[in-house]
Amino acid sequence: MFRRFFSKAALVCFLATCTAGSSFVGQAQTVALNDKLPVDPKVTVGKLSNGLTYYIRPNNKPEKKVELRLIVNAGSILEDDDQQGLAHFMEHMNFNGTKNYPKNKLVDFLQSLGVTFGADLNAYTSFDETVYILPISTDKPGNLESGFQVIGDWAQYANLDTEDIDGERGVVLEESRNGKGAQDRMMKQYLPKLLAGSRYADRLPIGKDEILKTFKPETLRRFYHDWYRPDLMAVAVVGDVTVPQAEALIKKYFAGFKNPANARERKSFDVKPYDEPVTMVVTDKEAPNYLFQFFFSARKVDQNVTLADYRADIVKNMFFSLLNRRLEELTQSATPPFIAAFSQNAGFGRNYENFTLIALPAADMETTIKASIGELVKAQEYGFNNSELELVKKQMLSGIEKAYNERNTTESSRLIGEYIRHFLVQEAMPGIEQEYQYMQQMVPGITLEEVNAEAKKWLNKEDNKEYFALLVGPSEGGQMKLPTDAELKTMINDAFDQQLTANEERKIAESILEKEPVAGKIVSEASDKELGATTFTLSNGVKVTVKSTDFKSDEIVLSAVKKGGTGNYSVADRNSIQFMPEVIEAMGYGQFTPNELSDMLSGKTIRLSSSIDQISNRLSGHSSVKDLESLLQLTYLQLTEPRKDENLYASFMSKMKMQLSMLSNNPQIAFSDTLAKVLYNNDPRRPMNIPTTKDLEQVDMNKVLEFYLKEFGNADGFHFFIVGNVDAQTLKPLLEKYIASLPTQGTVPSFKDDGLRPIDGNKVFRFNKGQDPKSLVLSIYSGQQLPYSEQTALEVDMIGELLTIKVTEEIREEMGAMYSGGFSGSMMRDPYARYIISGQFPCGPENVDTIVSKTLAEIEELKKLGPSKKDLDKVKAAKIEQRKAAIKTNSYWSSKLQSILFWDYSKPRFLEGEKNVEKVTAGQIKKTANKVFDGKNSFIAILYPETIPAGK
């Protein structure tokens, strides 16, 4: 359905209602709303005689790759009392030994094809389903069939040997350990009341540690036998494959499966409504923030069957979009009542949805509750207005248009989710062509009365009497006084009794720029046939490189870079320059506050932001094809007219102070921050992991504006890159008007090495914080003794990946001492040549010493013997597969063009990227490993819980 084209995070939702049997007149035809929604003709849906469902969708984006999914309509909700956590445990076991891939041969085999464990090869278990994810490259004969064999093994050929089951207990318990902390402790207090009377309250997928430690292997085998069966399964195949080819492989590997005799019923479970107002205040000393959450009773969801259902679903979603726009506007006010707030209709159980309101307080809890619930009251009483409705209509039509324009260049991984939902919850899938037509025909006829009627459905005054409200926050050292449960209920009830007035209609600006810029000229152009790009030099000295691609039909990526950065500024100005992009964004540009600019850009697909790092100033953004000129106008506006607004500046600072004030309650955040101080010997120039209130107080609004105009308002040295569905020649007049007109001062920007360096020598740092038995080991190996080369940088990167393979095998699979962890390696050229190889290993305190010893042993073995051919081949295959995928994206090309044409990295090395990877030898890796692990500069940092004595 259309929801896949819109991000919930962006809260872009839509509206309309209908009457059964009515119709609307479309652009080319009349459609009856009682007609059934069709199935996308591009998808082949079938069912085997044993009940297994399959979906096949040929799609050549990307080429020579197929996405496979095994979908099991069974999750933790089906576990018996003695099986809690075993649906998820079963997911683990399918990677640990099957009929055709015993022990750990499966991961080993797939890595040899370039599939990365955890990134590509993965799975998830939820309350109601388990889904296995397998992308397969088809550039080699036999790969595709091997992929089907793998998912066939997952379906019914798991070995489930007792030895393997016992060996995996440690890994799953470590995953459970990773999830422990303040949020987990508080959730265990409120979940029984939030989901009172529902099975969902006591079937969290991670399960119970005591069961994970002690269950008998037969208990897991019983779950697999009962629920991993063809009539509860589907296979989805999307990618560079034909229907006959995929169908034949599905039948070959799945048609022989049988359902068990006397199969257990796959029940559905309900979510009970609230019969009275329930309030809870739950605290924990490690909670890093306050959060207010409010829920009305769950509603049963009927899936869309007809066009009337489809239209009603748009109505519902647009209501949430309108409400969220109002909540977002309050965060941008001079005195924001909350840092962030949003509403949604997410549910806790399958086919249920709750009205949910979530707010992050900015000053005090009563103000947050009064303001956030006040928006519900206004929507109940007065609904919305026409100007708001028109903005959301524009947004909706723009989003569906972009999805339609990119229908032939949408990646397989983005398409396949819809087929998973169709199988699990019967979500309709008419296809983007039909959905585009429906939206184009339906949206213009939506009335304000329909919107407001939908608001009253969700925010009926009778519902105000039955709800669940939750407030969580720190129990110690917080910034605000927390109410009791009874006081929280009074605050909420008083908020619902507010007397408020309707929002007024408002006028939206018609153009981004108040005054047209004076155009400059293109003075020269040069084509690079190898890169397929053209570089224009403009009359103001700015350069623009344009590369036309067909990777995405409706995407244009814009970036810009110039030398500069934070290294040019003194310690006294450090905070003003660090916070500069965020402060400028918070105050707006030109005639627009952030809210006004958002309204102006409604209906346009545009993003643009600025950033600054140690050596450069950057812009990054993107647009649809039709909005490219608007993107360039926005670029001109943002570079030339930063807006000074003392009220919005104060608003930004107050929100930031509240957000940052309690972050150090979290043990890992406090550990990371203290580590940075120790690693850089308390140098004030060190990286700012966690800004403090003191840091914020040192920000000077006037200096921020001064620095911004110096770094971004002066276009000297900027090189722009525009990549996507754009023609370089037709772009010329736009470049002359909006980029050649940018002001310059004839300066030559540069960056500076500010001299910041980590401490030398071999150090061990121990830190105690946290009440859970959780530790974290960080190992950092760095140095400056190697001259930079792109070849050495590649080898350092590969060293990180090789060590990850070894520690995963040894620490996770053999020892069961961690769930996830590994190394990464990188080498930087500017502002000075240095390398860093770092490892991260979450674990139990009892395994710290073993993990430290094991990682050191693996490093020594790599230095002594070099990598095995098998492991080196795995790393090469993964890097080549990653490059094949990346080189078909606009963002990758934008980055590489910057590297080559601005930073002067090697073009031949880029063009021969795969050959460079293939040519790396075990001897080269061994030689480089001995250089980077020279025993002179290591930093081992260990987080222990409070119960472990300091200096262990």
CB-neighbour burial class of residue 9 (10 A; exposed 0-12, middle 13-18, buried 19+): exposed
For residue 403, give the nearest of 888, 892, 1, 886 by alpha carbon.
Answer: 1
Predicted pLDDT at 317: 87
Give me the amino acid identity at 877.
A
For residue 636, give the nearest of 530, 511, 552 by alpha carbon.
Answer: 511
Predicted pLDDT at 478: 74
The string of DSSP codes covering 442-484 is HGGG--HHHHHHHHHHHT-GGGGGSEEEEEEEESSS-SSPPPP
Q: Residue 740 corresponds to which tokens in the numbers above?
A: 């050649």
Predicted pLDDT at 476: 81
pLDDT digits (tens, 9 = 90+) for 169-223: 999 999 999 999 999 999 999 999 999 999 999 999 999 999 999 999 999 999 9
What's the distance, Cα to Cα, between the start and end of the chain in Å? 56
Give me the amino acid identity at 656.
M
CB count within 10 Å of CB 798 equals: 24
Cα within 13 Å of Cα(564), Cβ side = 26
pLDDT digits (tens, 9 = 90+) for 160-175: 999 999 999 999 999 9
Give me the average pLDDT of each 10-residue run along the chain (952 residues).
34 30 40 89 98 98 96 98 98 95 88 82 95 94 96 97 96 97 96 96 97 98 98 98 98 97 96 95 95 96 91 92 97 93 94 96 94 97 96 95 96 97 96 96 93 94 89 87 95 96 93 96 98 98 98 98 97 96 97 95 97 98 98 98 97 92 92 95 90 93 98 98 95 98 97 95 97 97 96 98 96 94 97 98 96 97 98 96 96 98 98 97 98 96 87 47
- Angle, helices 105-112 vs 869-886, to 10°: value is 60
DSSP conformation class of 206: T
Instruction: Pinpoint the alpha helices (H) of 591-700.
Output: 594-600, 628-640, 646-660, 667-679, 693-697
Contact 879, 819 (CB under 8 A): no
Sequence-separated (6 or more) residues with CB below 8 Å from residue 626? none
Q: Residue 102 corresponds to which tokens in the numbers above?
A: 């015993």
Contact 65, 136 (CB under 8 A): yes
Q: List phi, psi (to 5°) of 312.
A: -65, -35
